[in-house]
């Protein structure tokens, strides 16, 4: 801001003082100068146009300098406007009171030209710096508001409808403590029957936590989708958590981490599998109103150690499973569908082919029983003919290190 660009306002009831001060300011290059004879006139000028500095006398009729200062500091628009008090030498107590009310500086009468130029220049420089700081803060607030909108747009606000095929009702809401934060949640179906949900919290606050939160949410989604597309096995929560942890540890110079509860609900079987990476243990609210805390100690948060491995459970998954009580009518429907599958398989001739595999009088029969044993206790509880049919329809004779592979659909020709 140059001298010619600065807008100054002189408020003094003495016309000679106004004239003398205006002439001295003009000689110093301040040509944009306005005058007012009292406080009321000064406030009217301040409402009609903008100024960069006010030279204010204390003792004036109608409205004195104290009252003008109180009006200025009470206004959100004018409170940052610098004010230099004009006073006689015997009014030092009044000058101190004005500075306590918010005045920037003071000038004694009669005016010293060098001191006048120095104090006006210093006050204008302070105002310029404060204006730059306020402009930067306003720009930062706009950017943070935009970031908040984008962050909230990443989280689901429209949830899947509760239907008989997908009997899950979901509602979630996030309100960051600041403009942006590191809290996150998400929910989506990985298949027609598997409902995936997650709740997490990133260390720290502000923009870094928000960016780490966005990275975590995207990694979970991508890992689940790629697993579903590229793997024939069921989605493994332990492997997804390990993949996300490995990616979060890369280039993590700030050593940030996220606590994450990742769960998958099988809506057909009513089984809940989950991985808890350092998050507070959630509770299960039963229909009867009973509250049950899920078992298990939380594991290490994600992003702490690259080679961290979740402990393996007996089933080969670092998960814990909860069985949710299913509807009896749905159970009967599932049993009818299984019986229909067995009948259809028998009509296609699969039953006769598998009967030779399940006999105990040869190598093929031993191999058939071994496959049935690997299918788990649930299928072993079925009758032998049904188990043989299910084994022939779902698994092949070869076996990889990752477990049994699914066979291609069998034709009935």
One domain for residues 177 and 108: no
CATH value at residue 179: 3.60.40.10
pLDDT at 380: 42
One domain for residues 14 and 99: yes
Mean predicted confidence (pLDDT) in 250-267: 90
One domain for residues 168 and 303: yes
For residue range 347-404, what is the model confidence (pLDDT) as tens digits? 344 333 333 333 344 433 444 333 334 444 444 444 333 333 333 333 333 333 344 3
Residue 10 confidence (pLDDT) above 90: yes
One domain for residues 198 and 90: no
Final residue before a domain boundary, out of 309, 325, 341? 325
Q: Which residues contact 304 (CB under 8 A, 6 or more apart)?
A: 245, 249, 257
Q: Is residue 2 part of a domain?
A: no
One domain for residues 55 and 121: yes
What is the average pLDDT value for the chain, to the nearest integer? 75
Final residue before a domain boundary, out of 304, 325, 346? 325
Q: Is residue 109 part of a domain?
A: yes
Q: Is residue 411 part of a domain?
A: no
One domain for residues 244 and 343: no
d(C-alpha 380, C-alpha 366), whole Å: 15
One domain for residues 253 and 364: no
Q: Is residue 139 part of a domain?
A: no
Q: Is residue 413 part of a domain?
A: no
Residue 170 confidence (pLDDT) above 60: yes
Q: Please say whether the beta carbons of 200 and 185 come within 8 A.
A: yes
pLDDT at 220: 92
Final residue before a domain boundary, out of 277, 309, 325? 325
At residue 253, the 3 state secondary structure works out as: coil
Q: For residue 151, give the H/E element and its range.
A: helix 113-154
Q: Is residue 140 part of a domain?
A: no
Q: How far is CA 379 from the centre of its chain?
A: 44
Q: Which residues contact 11 (CB under 8 A, 6 or more apart)?
A: 35, 36, 37, 38, 39, 41, 42, 54, 55, 56, 57, 60, 65, 68
One domain for residues 160 and 256: yes
How many domains does one find in the chain?
3
Ramachandran angles phi, psi of 386, nearest 5°: -65, -40
Residue 331 confidence (pLDDT) above 70: no
Residue 56 confidence (pLDDT) above 70: yes
CATH value at residue 18: 3.40.50.2300
One domain for residues 312 and 204: yes
Residue 234 confidence (pLDDT) above 70: no
% of the chain at pLDDT higher than 90 = 23
One domain for residues 216 and 247: yes
* Residue 310 banded pLDDT, cuts 50, 70, 90: low
Residue 301 confidence (pLDDT) above 60: yes
One domain for residues 123 and 27: yes
Nearest partner of 242 among 319, 320, 322, 156, judged by Cα: 319
Q: Which domain holds residue 361?
A: 329-406
One domain for residues 321 and 340: no
Q: Is residue 357 part of a domain?
A: yes
Q: Is residue 396 part of a domain?
A: yes
Q: Please say whether the beta carbons of 356 and 395 come within 8 A.
A: no
């Amino acid at each position: 801001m140059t001298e010619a660009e600065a807008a100054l306002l002189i408020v003094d009831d003495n016309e000679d003082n106004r004239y003398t001060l205006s002439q001295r300011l003009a000689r110093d290059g301040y040509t944009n100068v306005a005058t007012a004879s009292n406080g009321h006139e000064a406030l009217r000028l301040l409402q009609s146009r903008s100024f960069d500095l006010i030279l204010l006398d204390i003792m004036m009729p109608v409205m004195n300098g104290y009252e003008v200062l109180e009006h200025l500091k009470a206004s959100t628009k004018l409170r940052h406007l610098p004010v230099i008090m004009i006073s006689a030498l015997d009014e030092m107590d009044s000058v101190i009171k004005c500075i306590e009310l918010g005045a920037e500086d003071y000038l004694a009468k009669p005016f010293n030209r060098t001191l006048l130029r120095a104090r006006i220049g210093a006050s204008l420089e302070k105002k310029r710096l404060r204006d730059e700081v306020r402009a930067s803060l306003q720009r930062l607030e706009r950017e943070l508001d935009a970031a908040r909108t984008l962050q909230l747009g990443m989280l689901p606000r429209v949830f899947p409808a509760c239907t008989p095929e997908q009997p899950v009702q979901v509602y979630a809401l996030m309100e960051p403590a600041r403009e942006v934060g590191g809290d996150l949640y998400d929910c989506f179906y990985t298949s027609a029957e598997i409902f995936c949900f997650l709740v997490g919290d990133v260390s720290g606050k502000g923009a870094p936590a928000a960016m780490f939160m966005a990275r975590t949410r995207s990694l979970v989604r991508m890992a689940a989708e790629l697993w579903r597309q590229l793997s024939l096995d069921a989605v493994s929560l332990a492997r997804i958590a390990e993949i996300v942890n490995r990616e979060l540890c890369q280039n993590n110079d700030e050593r940030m981490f996220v606590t994450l509860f990742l769960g998958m609900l099988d809506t057909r079987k009513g089984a809940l599998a989950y991985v808890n990476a350092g998050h507070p243990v959630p509770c299960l609210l039963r229909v009867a109103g009973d509250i049950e805390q899920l078992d298990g100690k939380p594991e290490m948060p994600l992003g702490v150690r690259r080679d961290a491995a979740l402990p393996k459970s007996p089933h080969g998954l670092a998960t814990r499973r909860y069985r949710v009580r299913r509807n009896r009518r749905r159970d009967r429907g599932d049993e009818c569908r299984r019986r229909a599958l067995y009948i259809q398989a028998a009509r296609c001739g699969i039953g006769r082919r598998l009967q030779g595999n399940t006999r105990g009088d040869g190598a093929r029969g031993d191999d058939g029983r071994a496959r049935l044993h690997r299918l788990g206790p649930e299928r072993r509880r079925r009758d032998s003919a049904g188990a043989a049919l299910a084994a022939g329809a779902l698994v092949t004779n070869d076996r990889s290190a990752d477990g049994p592979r699914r066979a291609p659909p069998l034709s009935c020709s």
